[in-house]
Amino acid sequence: MSKNSITVVNVPKAVIALVALVCVTVLGALSILESDAVLAIISSVVGYAIGNGVAARTGQAVEPIIGQRKTED
């Protein structure tokens, strides 16, 4: 793998986000949720996953879902 590759750092958070996305997508496909609600929930989950590092920048201890893979020298 390349030196700049990324990997899933926090597997439980990634699994929760993936399960939420799959469930909301299925509920939307079955017309149980309206499309506006599906879009809002998916946007929230994806926004959380992408913006997970914001708390780390403010000094709070947060392990991001996706980060650079740790390599041994």
Q: What is the pLDDT of residues 29-59, one digit of tens each?
A: 999 999 999 999 999 988 887 776 566 556 6
Q: Where are the alpha helices (DSSP H) in 1-73?
A: 11-29, 35-50, 54-57
Taking the domains of the chain in order of start, what are their residue ranges? 8-61
pTM of the model: 0.67
Residue 69 · residue 7 · CB < 8 Å: yes
CB-CB neighbours of 31 under 10 Å: 8
Q: What is the pLDDT of residues 5-31, one digit of tens each?
A: 666 777 888 888 899 999 999 999 999
